[in-house]
Amino acid sequence: MPEYVFYDGPAFATGLPHYGHVLAGTIKDIVMRYQSMTGHHVTRRFGWDCHGLPVETEIDKKLNIKTRQDVLNLGIDAYNEECRSFVTRYVEEWEKVVTRSAWIDFRNDYKTMDLKFMESVWWVFAQLYEKGLVYKDFKVMLYSTGCKTPLSNFEAGQNHKDVSDPEIMVAFPIVGDPDKAAFVAWTTTPWTLPSNLALCVNPNLTYVKVCNRCSGRVYVVAESRVSSLPSERPRRAAYDCSNIYEVLERFSGTTLVGKKYEPLFD
């Protein structure tokens, strides 16, 4: 009998199953059942993802661990054992739910913390390396000061919160403009400005060159966003600044393509 091998997951061992797991399991199970109906011996093994920060984060909460030194005081072996014991915490709940959506083997499951599994991953990596498919590069990543480790995109998103960030408007002086005008860009991530290389314009929008009556500064901005510009009105202005921006010129976004501006940093 021909064999068809299926390794499910692996699912994170830190939480209960939800609708998404049931849906994905059902779709996978359709393929497995088809293979069974066409004369295959199908091996279906469930898996657990034990690596990464989710398990460690739960243990840190349980043991009130705040710093790396707290882990060292407890002992690496004791800390690892706490993590291992946590992996099996929700096995029963998962089995109750998943077996209703799929035929799967929980008794012969695999865990990413198993030595055989980790060795198999290293073996695959070695094959890629020997074939010249591995390269070294650099990437900017988020870093956890508490865990002392870079974060994957998934881990960084686990603690997602909707917050109100301060916004800033940045002026980019236009090279060779007779009015010494500057493009205006809006951002909530000013730390990205040192690496700025370009600004984008919308060819379908109307842009205007406006002069601030109070400061005399000239800006280029989308016409629909003029009302969002700061007033720059002096605290003790002796003149009316109610209609503070005077439109000097109107043009389409396409006319701005190719314009150059002075970099914010040398």
Tens of pLDDT, residue by residue over 107-123, are 899 999 999 999 999 99
Tens of pLDDT, residue by residue over 154-179, are 777 777 788 888 889 999 999 999 99
Both tokens of 189, joined, read 């991530």
Given 3.40.50.620, 3.40.50.1240, 1.20.58.1610, 3.30.43.10, which CATH number is that of 3-136? 3.40.50.620
Q: Which fold has domain 168-256?
A: Isoleucyl-tRNA Synthetase; domain 2 (3.90.740)
pLDDT of residue 196: 92
Tens of pLDDT, residue by residue over 196-214, are 999 999 999 999 999 998 8
Q: Is 93 or 171 the better-scoring residue by pLDDT?
A: 171
| CA proximity to 57, closest of 13, 95, 88 | 13
> Is residue 88 within 8 Å of 95, Cβ to Cβ?
no
What is the rounded distance in angstroms from the CA atom of residue 176 to the CA atom of residue 178?
Answer: 6
Tell me the average pLDDT of the chain.
88
Q: How many CA atoms lie within 13 A of 262 on its CB side?
A: 14
